[in-house]
Amino acid sequence: MVAPGALLAAIDGVGADRRRGGYSRHVFDDAERQLREWFVEQAEARDLRVTTDRNANVWAWWGEPGDDAVVTGSHLDSVPGGGAFDGPLGVVSALSAVDVLRERGFRPRRPLAVVVFAEEEGGRFGVPCLGSRLLAGTIDADRARALRDPDGVTFAEAMRSFGADPSRAGRDEEALRRIGQFVELHVEQGRGLVDLDRPVAVASSILAHGRWRFRFRGQGNHAGATLLADRRDPMLPAAQLVVAARRAAGSVADGRATVGRLVPTPGGTNVIASTVDVWLDARSPQDAGTRAMVEELTAAARECAGAEGCQVEVTEESYGDAVRFDPALRDRLSGLLGDAPVLATGAGHDAGVLAAAVPTAMLFVRNPTGISHAPEEHAEDDDCTAGAHALARVLDHLAG
């Protein structure tokens, strides 16, 4: 087996973000294309048959592609300045697991595939799990094609420049029919396994989570020449939203609300902004809790905007229902892995998107820092190897 740690080391410099630290790898950018090419080489070196589907997801098949397959995989893109493991660990562990199975002479009884989903983080076009949502048909394909990146490039244009036909993007019945079960291995984004002193866990659930854009409009003006009484400064309600998000999160059970991105226009130091865009990420274990936070914050934003003579427009950019993974599959895998702990996750995943359509499970690998979406994200080589062996056991159990 080529260990996951060795495979990660081979791609370590790709998309390294000198300015922010960590990695910035976004769908179809140079770094992500380099990682796609690397993955195809690695898959073909393992006699896997590689195809790219209509939504730019990459599939590596052990034998003939077929229905009711056992599929594993994750993503290679990152958040801006993200860690080395979120996404790639699931992909390299799948390659290592294939090595383990081949070395023991395993022959799949069912089709088996490794998949790399496109734009899981939504780091370029703003909607997370874009590749798996398109495949599952849970995002309108026209809306997806029209999504724009910060430079104004549409997803359709980016697909075209990648050599894909954007008019074909959308629900992929054949791909969905082929997925019999999906298992995603992922670095834990939290400290659950550290506290339990275990290397691998099985996932129980994913929070209900979404992203909303609050666009505050005021009047651009001169920072020095404009009297306070004459201002309509959208930065005021924007700043109040940032603070209100934390307060709203405290008002629902296990709520989490974050503003990680705030963009003033035009963004000059001596300029009162004309508009300020604020992105809210809100999550909680129940759909009702997440919706309640967003309603509370929308009302507060309208009130704060009005007090400053500004307007606000709220747009829901993405939403994912709360996910409970298939309890039977979850418990079977936990038992198979020596009563591996069962942990919830606050992070969204492609597995969460597919869980509505096919029996789905997730494995987590210990992260000693518990930190994710930041350069401090980490997993020890030994734990990554334990994760790959656990994944091999699961694939053997499901496809053997």
Positive or negative torsion for Cα 305, 306, 308, 310 = positive
Stated length of the chain: 400
Nearest Cα to Cα of residue 280 among 298, 264, 292 = 298
CA distances from 84 to 216, 353, 374, 375 (A): 35, 23, 9, 7
CB of 318 to ligand HGY, least distance (A): 9
Q: How many CB atoms lie within 10 A of CB 59?
A: 21
Tokens (6 digits) for 297: 């914050």
CB of 237 to ligand HGY, least distance (A): 25
| Residue 86 sits in the site that holds Mn ion (CB under 5 A) | yes
Tell me the C-alpha distance between 85 and 263, whole Å: 28
Nearest Cα to Cα of residue 122 among 27, 58, 263, 57 = 27
Closer CB to ligand HGY, 133 or 178, in the complex:
133
Strands (E), 171-303: 179-187, 200-206, 208-217, 221-222, 256-265, 271-272, 275-284
Tell me the C-alpha distance between 188 and 391, whole Å: 15
Identity of residue 327: P
Closer CB to Mn ion, 87 or 234, in the complex:
87
Nearest Cα to Cα of residue 158 among 106, 123, 192, 184 = 123
| Residue 188 sits in the site that holds ligand HGY (CB under 6 A) | no
CB of 315 to Mn ion, least distance (A): 22
**Residue 87 near which of Mn ion, ligand HGY, none (CB within 5-8 Å, type-dependent):** Mn ion
CB of 86 to Mn ion, least distance (A): 4
| Residue 184 sits in the site that holds ligand HGY (CB under 6 A) | no
Closer CB to ligand HGY, 121 or 296, in the complex:
121
CA distances from 55 to 6, 33, 118, 212, 257 (A): 29, 15, 8, 24, 30
| Residue 141 sits in the site that holds ligand HGY (CB under 6 A) | no
Q: How many CB atoms lie within 10 A of CB 260?
A: 13
CB of 148 to ligand HGY, least distance (A): 19
Q: How many residues bind ligand HGY (CB under 6 A)?
A: 5
Nearest Cα to Cα of residue 202 among 215, 188, 212, 221 = 188
Q: Is there a binding annotation on residue 222? A: no
CB of 49 to Mn ion, least distance (A): 25
Which residues in the 68-127 window bind ligand HGY by CB under 6 A?
120-121
Closer CB to Mn ion, 194 or 371, in the complex:
371
Q: Which of 22, 87, 126, 387 binds Mn ion (CB under 5 A)?
A: 87
| Residue 347 sits in the site that holds ligand HGY (CB under 6 A) | yes
Q: Is there a binding annotation on residue 367? A: no
| Residue 128 sits in the site that holds ligand HGY (CB under 6 A) | yes
Quick check: 296 and 246 in contact, CB under 8 A?
Answer: no
Q: Which of 170, 234, 289, 348 binds ligand HGY (CB under 6 A)?
A: 348
Closer CB to ligand HGY, 75 or 198, in the complex:
75
Closer CB to Mn ion, 271 or 292, in the complex:
271
Q: Is there a binding annotation on residue 209? A: no
Binding site for ligand HGY (CB under 6 A): 120-121, 128, 347-348
Q: Which residues are part of a known binding site for allantoate? A: 211, 270, 283
Q: Which residues are part of a known binding site? A: 75, 86, 121, 186, 211, 270, 283, 373
Q: Which residues are part of a known binding site for Zn(2+)? A: 75, 86, 121, 186, 373
